Amino acid sequence: MEKKWFTISVYSENSVGLLNRISGIFLKRHINIESLNVSKSEIEHVSKFTIVVYTTEDWVRNIVGQVEKQIEVIKAFYHTDEETIYQESALFKVASTLLFDERNIQNIIKESNSQIVTVSRDFFVLAKTGRRNEIDDMYQQLKPYGIMQFVRSGRIAVTKSEMKISSLLKEFNQ
């Protein structure tokens, strides 16, 4: 079966240790987590994990089944890239001298649609939000000039189709 990128969305209670429980499911199957983001969700007191994996649909189905089985997980879904709207964020720390000495840097900033977050005497920080390949492209463009620090966030994603969590919670509580 063909390997693909999948975004797993997990709605859960906000409880200590649940991250460990969920990551263990990937560990047991020797599947690497490509990106992970945990935040609050649209429902009060419900957390949302957004996990990106590169694997087969059989495995992702198996994983989602096991994730959903965890007591504190309300519901887990998986989606392909086409089924989601997704973004990542990245920060680039670059030496300030470049901003003035290298004309091309300004072009990169403009063309990549990134923002200058801060400028100090020694360095400036660029923030870029977009798809992974856009951030990768920007990284490649900046790399020859020297990147002092780079960090990228986990993927965040919303799905095109509905994820019915509120009605599920109601059903569980009936």
Partner 1 sequence: METLKKEKAASTKQSTIRISGAEAIIHCLLAEGVDLIYGYPGGAIMPLYDELYKFQHKLTHILTRHEQGATHAAQGYARVTGKVGVAVATSGPGATNLITGIADAQIDSTPMVCITGQVARHLLGSDAFQETDIIGISTPVTKWNCQVTKASEIPEVMAKAFYIARSGRPGPVLVDITKNAQVEEFDFSYEHCKGVRSYNPFPKPDTKAIEQAAELINAAKKPFIVFGQGVILGQAEEQLKALVEKAGIPAAWTVLGLSAMDTDHPLNVGMVGMHGNYGPNLLTNECDVLIAIGMRFDDRVTGSLDTYAKQAKIIHFDIDPAEINKNVKADVAVLGNSKVTLDLLLPMIKNNKHESWHNEFKEKYKIEFDQIIKNDVYPTKDKLTMAEVIEEINIASGHKAIIVSDVGQHQMIACRYAKFKQTKSNVTSGGLGTMGFALPAAIGAKMGAMDREVVAIIGDGGYQMTIQELGTIFQNKTPVKIVVLNNDHLGMVRQWQELFFESRYASTVMVNPDFVKIAEGYHIESKRISERKDLKSTIQKMLASKDAYFLEVKVEKEDNVFPMIPSGASVSDIRLK
Which positions touch partner 1 (CB under 8 A)? 12-13, 16-17, 20-21, 24, 27-28, 61-62, 65-66, 68-69, 71-74, 169, 171-173
State the minimum distance, in angstroms, from the CB of residue 46 to partner 1: 9
State the minimum distance, in angstroms, from the CB of residue 66 to partner 1: 6
Instruction: Report the residue number, 20 or 133, with the smaller CB distance to partner 1.
Output: 20
Instruction: Report the residue number, 131 or 170, with the smaller CB distance to partner 1.
Output: 170
Instruction: Report the residue number, 71 or 151, with the smaller CB distance to partner 1.
Output: 71
**HSE-CB for 33 with a 13 A CA cutoff:** 19
Instruction: Report the residue number, 62 or 153, with the smaller CB distance to partner 1.
Output: 62
Instruction: Report the residue number, 95 or 163, with the smaller CB distance to partner 1.
Output: 163
State the minimum distance, in angstroms, from the CB of residue 62 to partner 1: 6
Q: Is 95 helix (H, G, I), strand (E, B) or coil?
A: strand
Dihedral, CA atoms, 23, 29, 35, 37, nearest 10 degrees? -30
Query: 37 with 49: CB under 8 angstroms?
Result: yes
**Beta strands of the chain (E only): which ranges?**
3-13, 35-40, 46-56, 73-80, 84-95, 115-119, 123-130, 149-152, 156-159
State the minimum distance, in angstroms, from the CB of residue 143 to partner 1: 38
CA distances from 60 to 8, 15, 41, 67 (A): 8, 24, 22, 10
Instruction: Report the residue number, 12 or 112, with the smaller CB distance to partner 1.
Output: 12
Q: How many CB atoms lie within 10 A of CB 51?
A: 27
Task: Return the sign of the alpha-carbon dihedral for residues 78, 83, 85, 86.
Answer: positive
State the minimum distance, in angstroms, from the CB of residue 169 to partner 1: 6
Q: Is 11 helix (H, G, I), strand (E, B) or coil?
A: strand
State the minimum distance, in angstroms, from the CB of residue 165 to partner 1: 10
